[in-house]
């Protein structure tokens, strides 16, 4: 019997075994089912697994060739099969002198050359040598980009605010909804504002439309010549950048072997580097790299990304959990779930294998979450007493983000809540309470702890989830690096946009629902 079938049988056999019983039968469980790497401690003892489960999951990883796929990814093989490309985000944080080849070319010197250019630019903006068109200092940065060109940098900016200069404020515009740009520009002085137009392809409609509107806002106040001082680009598409009117001297490049959702540590992180400086950025890359090394070199039974991936597969494919909650007991990680949604669901929301056949079971669980303690006063009721199985990842830090005794005391309260929630979910209430007061327990969770939230620990955390997503994709035999599913909606929006814009009544050939919605919208807008 293969490991998959064995796990199915094992899930049935152990369905009645509760976490309460598992802990009672093994007093060392809480310390035994834990692993450490790159500054992160993972406690997975509150997952519904035993040693036999782990053995089978590790056998599954063996059968699905996880070790070979890890080597293939690190070695620059074209693991992005449908786009025939490597996925080499690990090269973005490789130390100088490491050799990583893409089709015979060592890309590490290219990576470091861009990092150095970014560093020189960021230093000039940060110390005031790079001025606006009128000779004044830049005080505000607006990053215009969407998806991977927004979520990572936006998440990191909030996460690392304590490491950021107070001289610069960074804002983010992603949505093509005019409200997004309006809000970002509110109160800003064009003479003090630098725009980063961030788009791997430089064809993304929302980003280009927002960038054009920003450009009009800037040039209306400062004149056409101001573009050179107030706009820089991050892209792989030099021609697109030129066509937009940004001098390639003001462009920071990356490569098609970096997926958008794996790019926050490339030039896409320019806003992060402006905020925390080149040294802070290097520290973040070192955190990423430390987790890369841990992932590549650590035996699977102690390997954080592999364990997290296998636990996710167990919960999703064998225990039937459709979602994965991620709850950070850190307000500064408030955007982490949104970042993870693209990372996990754009990567693994797939229904065919790399061979083109249908996948055998469910892929990408729905990632969602918020911060603790806020979530406790909202959706946690459903986690404690609802009917669905919702595995949780709890993320917390041991050191308070400040020195005062009061900050430390409040941090203790925050972390007390993290520990209490894991305990309450796992063990529930005594059974002699009235039914409406009973919490059944047996809800699985993992806890991730690091010393403190720094560029280093953030980099390691992101790499942990990146690699966990990759291992899950490998188990399901899917391409975790393409995203063809998003194309259809883009094409339909292009057709529909022209129908909404047309002055004369357009001949509509959609379904009756879409036709009726378009007609109604046009009528409301005073069009035939």
Smallest separation (angstroms) from ligand F6P to the CB of 261: 6
Q: Which is nearer to ligand F6P, 360 or 493 (CB)?
A: 493
If residue 343 lies in a helix (H) or strand (E), which one and from where to where?
Answer: none
Question: In sequence order, which residues have a C-beta less than 8 Å from that of residue 21 and are 6 or more positions away?
Answer: none
Active site residue 346: yes
**Could you say whether residue 373 binds ligand F6P (CB under 6 A)?**
no
**Could you say whether residue 18 binds ligand F6P (CB under 6 A)?**
no
Span of 8-16, 147-155, 304-312, 396-404 interacting with ligand F6P by CB under 6 A: 147-155
Q: How far is CA 235 from CA 204, 206, 213, in A?
A: 11, 15, 19
Contact characters 336-355, ligand F6P, x per CB under 6 A: ----------x---------
Smallest separation (angstroms) from ligand F6P to the CB of 69: 21
CA dihedral (470, 476, 477, 480) positive or negative: negative
CA 515 to chain centre: 36
Among 37, 132, 148, 365, binds ligand F6P (CB under 6 A): 148
Smallest separation (angstroms) from ligand F6P to the CB of 173: 13
The two tokens of residue 402 are: 């400040």
Count of beta carbons in the 10 Å neighbourhood of residue 398: 11
Question: In sequence order, which residues have a C-beta less than 8 Å from that of residue 13 and are 6 or more positions away?
Answer: none
Q: How far is CA 386 from CA 389, 427, 433, 443, in A?
A: 8, 15, 17, 11
DSSP track, 289-358: HHHHHHHHHS-GGG-HHHHHHHHHHIIIIIS---EEEEEES-GGGTTHHHHHIIIIIIHH--SB-TTSSB
Which residue out of 192, 346, 466, 499 is catalytically annotated? 346
Give the whole-angstrom CA distance, residue 378 versus residue 204: 36
Report 444-503 residues binding ligand F6P (CB under 6 A).
483, 486
Give the whole-angstrom CA distance, residue 343 versus residue 339: 6
Among 147, 280, 305, 455, binds ligand F6P (CB under 6 A): 147
Among 8, 131, 201, 385, binds ligand F6P (CB under 6 A): 201
Smallest separation (angstroms) from ligand F6P to the CB of 97: 30
DSSP track, 414-467: HHHHHHHHHHHHHH---TTS-GGG-------EEEEEES---HHHHHHHHHHHHH
Span of 200-208, 349-357, 406-414, 492-500 interacting with ligand F6P by CB under 6 A: 200-208
Among 10, 140, 261, 282, binds ligand F6P (CB under 6 A): 261
Report 391-430 residues binding ligand F6P (CB under 6 A).
none
Give the whole-angstrom CA distance, residue 245 versus residue 234: 13
Which residue out of 31, 186, 377, 436 is catalytically annotated? 377
Q: Which is nearer to ligand F6P, 484 or 521 (CB)?
A: 484
Which residue out of 216, 490, 497, 505 is catalytically annotated? 490
Smallest separation (angstroms) from ligand F6P to the CB of 498: 20
Smallest separation (angstroms) from ligand F6P to the CB of 145: 6
Active site residue 238: no
**Could you say whether residue 260 binds ligand F6P (CB under 6 A)?**
yes
**Could you say whether residue 143 binds ligand F6P (CB under 6 A)?**
no
Smallest separation (angstroms) from ligand F6P to the CB of 201: 3
Smallest separation (angstroms) from ligand F6P to the CB of 518: 23
Q: Which is nearer to ligand F6P, 258 or 471 (CB)?
A: 258
Give SS3 for 169: strand
**Could you say whether residue 200 binds ligand F6P (CB under 6 A)?**
yes
The two tokens of residue 225 are: 């010549």
Span of 86-94, 139-147, 249-257, 446-454 interacting with ligand F6P by CB under 6 A: 139-147
Q: Which residue is it, tokens 């007991």?
A: 329
Give the whole-angstrom CA distance, residue 42 versus residue 344: 19
- Helix 455-476 vs helix 51-63: crossing angle, to nearest 10: 70
**Could you say whether residue 149 binds ligand F6P (CB under 6 A)?**
yes
Q: In this structure, are residues 342 and 411 in contact, taking their beta carbons and an 8 Å threshold? A: no
Active site residue 216: no
Q: Which is nearer to ligand F6P, 145 or 459 (CB)?
A: 145
Among 208, 244, 210, residue whose Cα is nearest residue 228? 244
Q: Which is nearer to ligand F6P, 152 or 278 (CB)?
A: 152
Question: In sequence order, which residues have a C-beta less than 8 Å from that of residue 201 and are 6 or more positions away?
Answer: 235, 236, 237, 240
Residues annotated as catalytic (active site), given as ranges: 346, 377, 490
Enumerate binding residues for ligand F6P (CB under 6 A): 145-149, 199-201, 204, 207, 260-261, 346, 483, 486
């Amino acid at each position: 019997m293969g490991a998959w079938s064995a796990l199915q049988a094992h899930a049935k056999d152990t369905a009645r075994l509760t976490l309460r019983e598992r802990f009672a039968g093994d007093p060392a469980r809480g310390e035994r089912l834990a692993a450490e790497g790159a500054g992160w401690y993972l406690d997975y003892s509150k997952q519904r697994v035993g040693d036999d489960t782990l053995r089978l999951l590790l056998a599954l990883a063996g059968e699905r060739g996880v070790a070979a796929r890890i080597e293939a990814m690190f070695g620059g093989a074209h693991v992005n099969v449908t786009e025939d490309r490597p996925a080499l985000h690990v090269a973005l944080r490789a130390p100088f002198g490491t050799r990583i080849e893409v089709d015979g070319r060592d890309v590490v010197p290219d990576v470091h050359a861009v990092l150095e250019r970014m560093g020189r630019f960021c230093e000039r903006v940060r110390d005031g040598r790079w001025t606006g068109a009128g000779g004044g200092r830049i005080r505000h940065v607006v990053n215009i980009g969407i998806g991977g060109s927004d979520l990572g940098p936006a998440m990191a900016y909030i996460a690392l605010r304590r490491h950021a200069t107070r001289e610069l404020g960074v804002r983010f515009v992603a949505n093509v909804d005019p409200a997004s740009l309006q809000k970002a520009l509110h109160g800003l002085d064009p003479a003090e504002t630098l725009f980063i137009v961030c788009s791997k392809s430089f064809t993304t409609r929302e980003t280009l439309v927002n960038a054009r509107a920003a450009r009009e806002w800037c040039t209306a106040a400062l004149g056409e010549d101001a573009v050179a001082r107030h706009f820089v680009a991050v892209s792989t598409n030099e021609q697109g950048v030129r066509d937009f009117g940004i001098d390639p001297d003001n462009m920071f490049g990356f490569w098609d072997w970096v997926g958008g959702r794996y790019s926050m540590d490339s030039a896409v992180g320019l806003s992060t580097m402006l905020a925390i400086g080149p040294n802070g950025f290097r520290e973040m890359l070192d955190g990423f790299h430390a987790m890369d090394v841990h992932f590549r070199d650590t035996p699977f039974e102690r390997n954080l990304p592999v364990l997290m991936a296998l636990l996710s597969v167990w919960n999703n494919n064998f225990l039937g959990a459709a979602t994965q909650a991620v709850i950070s007991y850190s307000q500064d990680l408030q955007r982490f779930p949104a970042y993870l949604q693209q990372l996990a669901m754009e990567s693994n929301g797939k229904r065919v294998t790399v061979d083109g056949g249908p996948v055998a079971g469910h892929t990408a669980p729905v990632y969602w979450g918020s911060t603790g303690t806020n979530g406790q006063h909202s959706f946690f009721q459903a986690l404690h007493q609802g009917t669905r199985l919702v595995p949780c990842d709890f993320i917390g830090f041991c050191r308070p983000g400040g020195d005062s005794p009061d900050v430390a005391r409040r941090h203790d309260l925050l972390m007390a809540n993290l520990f209490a929630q894991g305990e309450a979910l796992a063990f529930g209430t005594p059974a002699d309470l009235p039914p409406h007061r009973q919490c059944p327990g047996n809800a699985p969770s993992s806890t991730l702890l690091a010393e403190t939230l720094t560029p280093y620990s953030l980099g390691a955390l992101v790499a942990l989830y990146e690699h966990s997503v990759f291992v899950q994709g490998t188990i399901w035999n899917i391409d975790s690096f393409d995203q063809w599913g998003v194309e259809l909606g883009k094409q339909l929006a292009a057709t529909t946009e022209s129908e909404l814009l047309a002055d004369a009544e357009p001949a509509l050939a959609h379904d009756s629902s879409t036709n009726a919605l378009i007609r109604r919208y046009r009528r409301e807008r005073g069009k035939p």
